[in-house]
Structure 1
């Protein structure tokens, strides 16, 4: 029987401040758009490949609005049907729209219709622009009506900075050898690398050891260690 670590790890930091747009103008523009979003604003679509930070920004937006006393409703491909609009919610978030099945596409379109003119803001994410989404035409039109931002992956130096900052936030010492290994042996999608860092933190706690390259290799060889989702 393995000893389980105590729940003393730092929770995920989903905030605008923890999102690093890097040098990409589109990332900066998306961040500015969300920071200035108000109830009743035009729908916003964030799109791009896995790991560019779309879900992070949606969660950061939800956190900011809830901290301001607003009600937020979240819908994604795993959200059970039926989807209802809580009348008190002023922000609706649709995550991973490209994966909505037909019933959820219908539900999302219905929410667009029901909230029209009601002072509700809608922000959605997808892996491609609205025009290319495999969804019903009326929903595609709604998703593409307002501002649309193509988020871009960070460069290597920027990815290093994000991983180091997250390690520091967790009180972890992330050595150059371990960081080099992560960036050369794994896909550089930031979401997957962050999950891997969290997984390594948990593994290190359970073994009462610091973060080292041998510990990472031990974790990867451990059949009881949960896998990392490379598409996060």
Structure 2
């Protein structure tokens, strides 16, 4: 670049918060519906499936769904805690004032955090007004974690989060722009 040329910056702004409303469902209808209903059922103490495991490849939407669960929980008046390998070990401890816990990238947790998630799992099972949603890159049986945690991950509902097809990606792009496929923009 010559001294006279100036690079222009592209103002994109912050991404919108991850909610169910801006998640492109595609082949994930059943899992998204379950997750969408979870906070309301927990609030009414009617949730029969309070332990949910999501798995899928990078970019499939697992993290988006965990954040959406927390967003829906807050709108229902519940406290939700999003946890990842980067959070302090103390954040993984059960707190009676928190009703919904979400744990991302479970396969990347160190042993101490895996033990903490195992304990959290048992606490959530013992408290009817609590739920736990965990996400990882592999199905429970293939998960490289402690054996006791691996078996717990498979005890509740297990959903594979399917990545978008090329057609779904294009439809999601059109949708995010507020356009339809026949609007002539592409």
Query: TM-score if structure 1 supplies the norm length?
Result: 0.65
Aligned length: 167
Q: 1:30 aligned to 2:31?
A: yes
What secondary structure sits across from 1:44 in the alignment? Answer: strand
Partner residue in 1 for 2:96: 87
Q: 1:114 aligned to 2:114?
A: no
How far apart are 1:128 and its partner, in Å? 0.7
Separation in 2, partners of 1:58, 1:104 = 18
Partner residue in 2 for 1:208: none
Separation in 2, partners of 1:80, 1:2 = 40
- Counterparts in 2 of 1:201-216, with a 5 A limit? none
How far apart are 1:58 and its partner, in Å? 0.9
Contact 1:73 1:86 in 2 (8 A): no
Partner residue in 2 for 1:163: 173
Contact 1:15 1:59 in 2 (8 A): yes
How far apart are 1:138 and its partner, in Å? 1.1
Give 4+ residue runs of structure 1 displaced > 4 Å after superposition.
1-6
Q: 1:50 aligned to 2:58?
A: yes
Instruction: Identify which range, 90-99 or 153-162, moves more after superposition.
Output: 153-162
Contact 2:84 2:103 in 1 (8 A): yes
Backbone CA RMSD of aligned residues:
2.3
How far apart are 1:146 and its partner, in Å? 0.8
- Counterparts in 2 of 1:90-105, with a 5 A limit? 90-105=99-114
How far apart are 1:165 and its partner, in Å? 3.1
Distance 1:128 1:97, change over 3 A: same
Contact 1:73 1:85 in 2 (8 A): no
Contact 2:56 2:136 in 1 (8 A): yes
Superposed CA deviations along residues 131-189 of structure 1, whole A, max 9, x for unmatched, are 111111111111110111111111112101222333459xxxxx64xxxxxxxxxxxxx
